[in-house]
Amino acid sequence: MGVITASLPDSVQQLNGLLDTHHENWHFTWLEWLCSQLPQVRVALVVADEAQSGQFHSVAVWPEEGGQDKLLLDATEETLKKKQPLILPLNDGKHHIGSYPVFVDGALRAVVTLMLSAEDETELHKALALIEYCAGWLELRLSRNLLSVVARDNQRQHIVIDSIAYVLGERDFEHAALRFVNLMGQNLDAERVVLGFVKNAELEVHSQSDSSGHSKKHELVKLTTQAMQEAVDQQESILWPELDDHNRVTHAHSQLASEKGQRALMTVPLVDKESCYGAVLFDRPSEHPFTREEQLTAEALTNFVGVVLEEKRQSSLPLYAYIFRSIKNQLSLLLGPGHLGRKITLFCLLLLSIFFSLMPGHYNISADAVIEGAELRSIVVPYDGYLQKATLRAGDTLKKGELLAELDTRELRLQLMSWVNQEATSRRKYEEALARSERTQVQINKAQSQRARAEIELLEYQISQAAMKAPFDALIVSGDLSQRIGTLVRQGDVLFELSPRSDFRLAMYVDEFRINDIRQGQTGQLVLSALPDQKFSFNVTRINPMAEVIEGATVYRVEADFENRDEMLRVGLEGVSQIYVDDRLLISIWTRGLIDWMKLWLWRFWG
């Protein structure tokens, strides 16, 4: 490509113009110097995005009296799309358009486009290399602008953070508001700073900076309030004197500035979540009008520090005012524009409330339930003895008369034989004494014979009770003696508990808050945990008046009989029952518990 032969600016004035990167005509100075290095250039254009907003604008055209050629603009747009250098030949074969992008920190910030004449491709590449060389000055300006923007943003962030810390450090809202206006006056070099809050759609002045030497006469306060209200109504910052691009209503600000002898004013509204709750007014001499950068700093302070101050103000309000404000805000969101989701939700809730307030439904009381046998028979040990036989256990079914368990009777039979012999001996002696007319001996032998007979009858009865049999067709509810064969059992020990196989009753445990709605004869349905797909109907037969405590809850036992016997029912099955009471409005059914709780709560505190 050859050696780049670009030279430094040929005059001190031109060099100073390039070094002064903040000069408003810097781009034309640079472009003029660039074109002086390329005599074959016909026209040149520079577009740049100095505001870093993504919008590129024309900043310089050479020659100065020339216009923006459409071919240059098309080549610039193509370079912005492709983000790479571009060379386009024209139809005459002598002229070309060269376009070069300029990057800063990897982001496209400017494009330089020239129309020049070149004899061959080598000369074109030399021209493009020269543009790249000279573009270093353009990169320098853009980099300095970027650094200055970053520095201003960092400074603004430090001011905001320090101000938030100072405001949070105050013990109450009044001191925090005074500290806020003083900090705003120091950071923006304002003689007077006024803080006001919106109350009932009207702004009221709350605090002024203590550095203000202005009087608080009524006319001045009135004009200040009107100027701040002007910014609140528009929800936009207002500057006076106005900037070129400042398109706001400023009538109240002009009146306030004239009243005080032509002052510079700036009012920034306090906005949080689309709601304007106040405003801040800055006042200083007209010789120092507020700039765009000061406006950005003021808006940053009010947006962040103002929210903190508003939180302190809300926390200092009495409870009734806080509740009223919250209700008012919610109503404004519901009745005002926007917030379609809230409105749809409220409309649906109203429709549901109306529907449930007019629609009747079945009032059922739910309760935990368990199936019990209609009778529970205990099989107990008739006398002390040793267990000889027991093959059944809990869960087995048996028919009436079927053997449950049997005790060892060998010892009883031996005793029975002994008493039989004694009875025979006593009877024989009784007959002999009777034959000899020995009246005393007759009575003794007769008594011994009667005693022996009593013992024999007792032993025979015990032997007959040794085999314990089922008194009816039953299901063994509890008892397992298979591991106790041969062990000693005592009289009265429970060996088995039996329940009828086909005779059940349902035990339900109703909460104490609902027991007054239960009556005998009411019907209901039962769903068992083991059979969730089936429902069993029942009738309430008995209500136990004594309360019980089960798992920390006070309940009453309610008994019921099944309407139809079902082979699937078994003693011990648990589930959930619903007792039908009557038909009521759905809203009264679902709010019954809440209403009862509120009645008790009110009675507890107010009687």
Contacts of 76 (CB under 8 A, 6+ apart): 45, 47, 56, 99, 111, 113
Inter-helix orientation angle 439-465/410-435, to 10°? 160
Q: How many residues does the chain have?
A: 607
Going by pLDDT thresholds of 50, 70 and 90, the confidence category of residue 415 is confident
For residue range 395-414, list pLDDT tens digits in order: 677 788 777 778 877 888 88
For residue range 528-586, list pLDDT tens digits in order: 998 888 999 999 999 999 999 988 889 999 999 988 877 778 778 899 999 999 998 88
Contacts of 65 (CB under 8 A, 6+ apart): none
For residue 289, say if its preceding peptide bond is cis, omega within 30 degrees of 0: no
pLDDT of the residue at 3: 42
Domain 503-601 has CATH 2.60.40.10: no
387: left (phi over 0), alpha (psi -120 to 50) or beta: beta
Architecture category of domain 377-497 in CATH? Beta Barrel (2.40)
Q: How many CB atoms lie within 10 A of CB 406?
A: 16
Q: Report the alpha-carbon distance of residue 131 to residue 38 in Å, rounded.
A: 9
Q: Report the alpha-carbon distance of residue 22 to residue 480 in Å, rounded.
A: 103
3-state secondary structure of 204: strand
Residue reference for tokens 């113009």: 17
For residue 382, say if its preceding peptide bond is cis, omega within 30 degrees of 0: no
pLDDT of the residue at 368: 93
pLDDT of the residue at 213: 47
Q: What is the mean pLDDT of residues 236-265?
A: 81
Q: Report the alpha-carbon distance of residue 164 to residue 189 in Å, rounded.
A: 18
The token duo for 240 is 């006076």
For residue range 203-248, list pLDDT tens digits in order: 888 888 864 444 456 778 888 888 889 988 888 888 888 876 667 8
Q: Report the alpha-carbon distance of residue 404 to residue 513 in Å, rounded.
A: 45
Q: Report the alpha-carbon distance of residue 50 to residue 53 in Å, rounded.
A: 8
Residue reference for tokens 């610039």: 76
For residue range 461-506, list pLDDT tens digits in order: 888 777 777 777 777 777 777 777 877 788 877 877 777 777 778 9
Q: Report the alpha-carbon distance of residue 570 to residue 183 in Å, rounded.
A: 82
Domain definitions of the chain by residue range: 12-149, 170-320, 377-497, 503-601
554: left (phi over 0), alpha (psi -120 to 50) or beta: beta
Q: Report the alpha-carbon distance of residue 52 to residue 108 in Å, rounded.
A: 10
Pairing of strands 95-104, 86-89: antiparallel
Torsion of CA 268, 272, 277, 283, to 10 degrees: -10
Going by pLDDT thresholds of 50, 70 and 90, the confidence category of residue 22 is low
Contacts of 580 (CB under 8 A, 6+ apart): 362, 363, 364, 522, 523, 524
Q: Report the alpha-carbon distance of residue 393 to residue 331 in Å, rounded.
A: 71
Residue 83 scores a pLDDT above 90? no
Q: Report the alpha-carbon distance of residue 303 to residue 178 in Å, rounded.
A: 17
Residue 284 β-bridge partners: 264
Residue reference for tokens 């309430």: 540
- The CATH code belonging to domain 170-320 is 3.30.450.40
- The CATH code belonging to domain 12-149 is 3.30.450.40
Least confident window among 7-16, 446-455, 541-550: 7-16
Are 271 and 253 within 8 A, CB to CB?
no
pLDDT of the residue at 426: 84
Q: Report the alpha-carbon distance of residue 489 to residue 492 in Å, rounded.
A: 9
Are 477 and 499 within 8 A, CB to CB?
yes
Furthest-apart CA atoms within the chain: distance in Å: 177
Are 56 and 45 within 8 A, CB to CB?
no
DSSP 83: -
| 3-state helix vs strand vs coil in the chain, percent to 5 | 45, 30, 30
Q: Report the alpha-carbon distance of residue 221 to residue 217 in Å, rounded.
A: 6
Residue 9 scores a pLDDT above 50? yes
Q: What is the mean pLDDT of residues 99-111?
A: 81
For residue range 109-160, list pLDDT tens digits in order: 888 888 877 767 777 777 777 777 777 777 777 777 777 777 777 777 777 7
**Are domains 12-149 and 377-497 of this chain identical in fold?**
no
The token duo for 420 is 């039989």
3-state secondary structure of 455: helix
User: pTM to 2 decimals?
Assistant: 0.47
Going by pLDDT thresholds of 50, 70 and 90, the confidence category of residue 161 is confident
Q: Report the alpha-carbon distance of residue 270 to residue 262 in Å, rounded.
A: 25
Higher pLDDT among residues 11 and 52, named by residue: 52
Q: Report the alpha-carbon distance of residue 2 to residue 284 in Å, rounded.
A: 61
Q: Report the alpha-carbon distance of residue 607 to residue 600 in Å, rounded.
A: 9
The token duo for 357 is 């307030």
514: left (phi over 0), alpha (psi -120 to 50) or beta: alpha
CA 135 to chain centre: 55
